[in-house]
């Protein structure tokens, strides 16, 4: 049965993940299918006409003005497509922010690949693309890293995932016309996350979230780079959790801790400080959401401390061997006990506290920038690549055989965000 025919399943208010317009389900537009209606939309160039339907098929799909049944939906304000799961499931927006080259795209690709695998296997929950076109860039990145056609050939990391563009990428951005004003929106990565019917706890079955994640170019977080004509970081204000991707290797004081940390590193310090990027994002959040400078941000900020394959030993020599997902005995609503996987929040907090101590002694501005903004900070080390990278003898840059890539803890920031929320989707224990 079509999603829209089951009225009782629809949310009362829907939010567009591109322009942030909030609207009722009956306002949603449909995307026409007949080719005569191509390039007829006044908002989106080179696209099918969007329309408010008056006729439907027996399957409750709208019929376009030329009599063709339609399947896709669009926002009544910006006319960009909206995945269907966003009409049914409560949405969860997660923003990823960080300087150019800090590792955002690597982290997101490794995180998505891990979640697709771990959520069904360990948490009876599916994690699937809500829309293949929206997730195209991410899927390509995942493929280059974890399903590379030349797994045994040494390749430079910078070639496996290239720099994110701040304009022009047809999959990453969409231009929309409001009269004579053209506005460039950042497109999200969208996932549907849903608890399977096999979950031991019947109260959890069928619950889920529509997840939206954003991968900006680091340049978009530099001062002056978010404009009305290009509101590419407005997701920050809608986000439930901020992932601040911080690369300690970009700071020469951190690299002084160990001689090996300088190898294969391209110095990006000319691009501005990373705490400056955080402060600019914090200012935008205050501006977009009307939070005064005296108030603290009420939501969690997870400092995703990247590239820990290089420096984890400074926190704990055994860190890369530790698992934060453990088996735990949980009581079900009918009183019986079941062995379920859970996040060991005790371990995450211990590692967070040690990582914070390391940063406080080497790059204290980061800790003070984050903690003057929120009381809910957590520092999670991650590695998208694992420890098998090497330095290319020809270029001096980091390289790897893709078959040797093995990420570490890239799924933990997401799983931790759910475990500490009230969603009940991820159980937690503290050992």
Ligand X SMILES: Nc1nc2c(ncn2[C@@H]2O[C@H](COP(=O)(O)OP(=O)(O)OP(=O)(O)O)[C@@H](O)[C@H]2O)c(=O)[nH]1
Provide the mask over 78-107, with x wherever binding to Zn ion is found by CB under 5 A and - wherever it is not: x-----------------------------
Q: Is 263 in the site for ligand X (CB under 6 A)?
A: no
- C-alpha to C-alpha distance for 312 and 108, rounded to whole angstroms: 20
- Residue 226 Cβ, how far from ligand X at the closest point, in Å? 14
Provide the mask over 390-409, with x wherever binding to ligand X is found by CB under 6 A and - wherever it is not: --------x-----------
- 322 versus 376: smaller Cβ distance to ligand X: 322
Q: Is 429 in the site for Zn ion (CB under 5 A)?
A: no
- 105 versus 125: smaller Cβ distance to Mg ion: 105
Provide the mask over 354-393, with x wherever binding to ligand X is found by CB under 6 A and - wherever it is not: -----------------------------xxx---x----
Q: Is 164 in the site for ligand X (CB under 6 A)?
A: yes
Q: Is 186 in the site for Zn ion (CB under 5 A)?
A: no
Residues within the interface to Mg ion (CB under 5 A): 104-105, 164
- Residue 80 Cβ, how far from Mg ion at the closest point, in Å? 22
- 195 versus 232: smaller Cβ distance to Zn ion: 232
- 70 versus 343: smaller Cβ distance to Zn ion: 70
- 19 versus 351: smaller Cβ distance to Zn ion: 19
Q: Is 217 in the site for ligand X (CB under 6 A)?
A: yes
Identify any residues that bridge with 48 across adjacent strands, giving them in sequence order. Answer: 38
Its sign, for the CA torsion 177, 179, 183, 189, is negative
- C-alpha to C-alpha distance for 170 and 328, rounded to whole angstroms: 45
- C-alpha to C-alpha distance for 127 and 141, rounded to whole angstroms: 17
- C-alpha to C-alpha distance for 25 and 130, rounded to whole angstroms: 18
- C-alpha to C-alpha distance for 128 and 112, rounded to whole angstroms: 9
- 157 versus 369: smaller Cβ distance to ligand X: 157
- Gyration radius of the chain's alpha carbons: 22
Its sign, for the CA torsion 79, 83, 84, 85, is negative
- Residue 103 Cβ, how far from Mg ion at the closest point, in Å? 8
Footprint of ligand X on 103-142 (CB under 6 A): 103-106
The secondary structure of 136-188 as a DSSP string is: HHHHHHHHHHHS-S-TTS-EEHHHHSPPPPSS--TTTEEEEEETTEEEEEEPP
Region of residue 32 (left: phi > 0; alpha: psi -120 to 50; beta: else) = beta
- C-alpha to C-alpha distance for 348 and 426, rounded to whole angstroms: 14
- 103 versus 208: smaller Cβ distance to ligand X: 103
- 90 versus 165: smaller Cβ distance to Mg ion: 165
The secondary structure of 192-235 as a DSSP string is: EEEE-TT-SSTTTTT-EEEEEEEE--GGGGSTT--BTTB-TTTH
- C-alpha to C-alpha distance for 258 and 362, rounded to whole angstroms: 12
Footprint of Zn ion on 39-78 (CB under 5 A): 75, 77-78
Give the number of residues in contact with Zn ion, rule: CB under 5 A.
7
Site of interaction with ligand X (CB under 6 A)? 98, 100-106, 157-158, 161, 163-164, 217-218, 306-307, 309-310, 383-385, 389, 398
Q: Which residues bind Zn ion (CB under 5 A)?
A: 16, 18-19, 21, 75, 77-78
């Amino acid at each position: 049965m079509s999603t829209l025919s089951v009225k009782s399943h629809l949310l009362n208010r829907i939010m567009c993940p591109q322009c942030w317009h909030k609207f009722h389900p009956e306002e949603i537009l449909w995307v026409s299918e007949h080719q005569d209606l191509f390039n007829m939309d006044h908002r989106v160039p080179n696209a099918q006409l969007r329309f408010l339907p008056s006729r439907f098929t027996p399957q409750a799909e709208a019929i376009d003005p030329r009599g063709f049944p339609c399947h896709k939906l669009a926002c009544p304000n910006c006319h960009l497509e909206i995945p269907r799961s966003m009409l049914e499931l409560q949405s969860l927006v997660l923003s990823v922010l960080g300087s150019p080259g800090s590792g955002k795209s690597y982290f997101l690709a490794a995180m998505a690949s891990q979640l697709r695998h771990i959520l069904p296997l360990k948490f009876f929950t599916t994690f699937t693309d809500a829309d293949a076109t929206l997730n195209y860039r991410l899927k390509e990145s995942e493929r280059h890293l974890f399903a590379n056609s030349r797994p045994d050939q040494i390749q430079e990391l910078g070639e496996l995932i290239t720099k994110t563009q701040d304009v022009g990428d047809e999959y990453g951005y969409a231009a929309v016309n409001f009269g004579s004003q053209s506005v460039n929106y950042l497109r999200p990565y969208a996932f549907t996350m849903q608890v399977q019917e096999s979950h031991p706890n019947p109260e959890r079955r069928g619950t889920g979230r529509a997840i939206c994640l954003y991968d900006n170019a680091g340049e978009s977080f530099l001062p002056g780079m978010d404009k009305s004509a290009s509101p590419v970081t407005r997701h920050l204000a809608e986000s439930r959790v901020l992932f601040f991707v911080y690369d300690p290797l970009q700071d020469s004081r951190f690299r002084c801790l160990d001689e090996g940390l300088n190898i294969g590193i391209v110095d990006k310090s000319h691009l501005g400080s990373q705490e400056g990027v955080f402060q600019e994002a914090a200012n935008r959040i205050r501006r977009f959401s009307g939070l005064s400078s005296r108030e603290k941000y009420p939501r969690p900020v997870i400092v995703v401390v990247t590239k820990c394959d290089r420096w984890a030993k400074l926190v704990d020599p055994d860190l890369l061997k530790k698992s934060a997902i453990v088996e735990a005995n949980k009581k079900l609503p009918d009183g019986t006990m079941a062995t379920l996987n859970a996040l060991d929040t005790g371990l995450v907090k211990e590692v967070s506290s040690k990582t914070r101590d390391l940063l406080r002694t080497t790059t204290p501005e980061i800790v003070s920038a984050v903690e003057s903004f929120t009381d809910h900070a957590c520092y999670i080390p991650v590695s998208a690549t694992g420890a098998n990278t090497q330095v290319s003898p020809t270029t001096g840059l980091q390289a790897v055989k893709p078959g040797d890539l093995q990420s570490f803890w890239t799924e933990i920031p997401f799983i931790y965000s759910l475990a500490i929320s009230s969603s009940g989707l991820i159980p937690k224990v503290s050992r």
